[in-house]
Chain A
Amino acid sequence: MSQKIHRLERRLFLKQTLSLGAIALLSGCDVTNDDQVQRVLLGMSEWNDRAQAWLFDPNKLAPEYPENLVATPFPFNAYYEEEEVKVIDETDYQLSLGGLVKERKPWRLPELYALPQASQVTRLICVEGWSAIGKWSGVRLSEFLQRVGADLTAKYVGFRCADDYYGSIDMPTALHPQTFLALRFADRVLPPKYGFPMRLRAPTKLGFKNPKFIQEIFVSNTHPGGYWEDQGYNWFSGS
């Protein structure tokens, strides 16, 4: 989806929610209705955050698939077109840490490659509805957070990315054994279009909760929000 379409869609959103929402609710046409409907819907979305957190089982693993089912080519998806993908210079790259973390020294790429690596072949499900199976390898986020002395009792882990994307997940998901800082895709160094040098891979979350080009990880008790979440997408968005 291109940004332009999204802007256009957002404009239509207000108009249509007002008209169709009013019809659907069989209520009188009042201009303030739109705000009221929006407040109710956002309230329900927050309720759904809580319901999903309650439903989340930290020991339940996402199904894994045989490697021959990996989608080729794996679909590219971002809030911009594929031609606009940023190519990060690996010699300059460093991962910075912030928030409730004891050891905040930045990490270089070779240091990340030297950490114990794990692999998963899981289905990535996009909020749009499509899905694709991929093989990701990298560092378990739980191990990384322990290593840097993060406060594992904090509520949120946030991410800031080189493509100005940002996002956050709940701590139970961050500590899930299949939540990776992915460095490889299909046994090769992560290509730029999938988020070189490092992306999040959490198969218990929808695709947009897996930020690419991660430059900073921070731990916080204040809700960090996210690029799409701040525009109305459900924050928890668990699978």
Chain B
Amino acid sequence: MVHPLVVRITHWINAFAVLVLVLSGWRIYNAAPLFPFRIPSELTLGGWLAGALQWHFAAMWILGLNGLAYVIYGLVSGHFRRKLLPISPRAVLHDVLEAFRGRLSHDDLSVYNTAQRAAYLALIVALVLLVLSGLAIWKPVQLQELTALMGGYEGARIVHFVCMSIVVLVVIVHVVMVALVPRTLPAMITGKVR
């Protein structure tokens, strides 16, 4: 078994939630851009601000609850420790360079190389920070301590945007890698290597 059932289920639910949240989030961003650019409307979800907000505030529950289940499972079952550790900056750098030379081995899909470990850890941390900064933006009065921790309301918007960018970047690399090593895709569906 390459991927346990819990990981496969939460992976696909997470993929759906992140897709909806990113596309609707871009529409929300366009209503008051933080930076001097807009996202092309064709890439966004919701059609107008209210629609985008409806998608965003519906999908946030899916992301949050699914993510909570995944993190609890990862910690309690030892999945995180087994799959994501050990990790060192030197090993990450080594594997990233190897990946660019096309020399990274994927013989055993159940073992993540350190470049993968770093990417998945970054994704988990970025998603946790996205949820926290999202809560800080959504509830800057009720959760004002959290908002203060994020550098205030405007600070939380920046954290939210930066973490979104990290997630999008990791997902793009992730999807490219799946395209380069296609047998990883059925493994995330059936759990086995064909």
Contact = CB atoms under 8 A, between A and B. Distances in A.
B58 A40 contact: yes
Contacts of A130: 32
Nearest to B48: A9
A125 B153 CA distance: 9
B32 A128 contact: yes
Contact of B141 (A20, A26, A127, A204): A204
What is the size category of the interface that chain A forms with chain B?
35 or more
The B contact surface, by secondary structure, is helix
Contacts of B48: 6, 9-10, 12-13
What is the size category of the interface that chain B forms with chain A?
20 to 34
Nearest to A203: B141
Interface in A183-239: 203-204, 228, 231-234, 238-239
B131 to A, nearest CB: 15
A88 interface: no
B133 to A, nearest CB: 13
B29 A129 contact: yes
B151 interface: no
A231 B34 CA distance: 25
B37 to A, nearest CB: 15
A48 B61 CA distance: 10
A129 B51 contact: no
- 5 nearest CB pairs, A to B: A13-B47, A9-B48, A232-B50, A44-B58, A129-B32
Given A16-B47, A233-B53, A234-B57, 12 more contacts: A9-B47, A13-B46, A14-B47, A16-B46, A17-B46, A20-B44, A21-B45, A42-B54, A63-B141, A228-B50, A232-B50, A239-B142
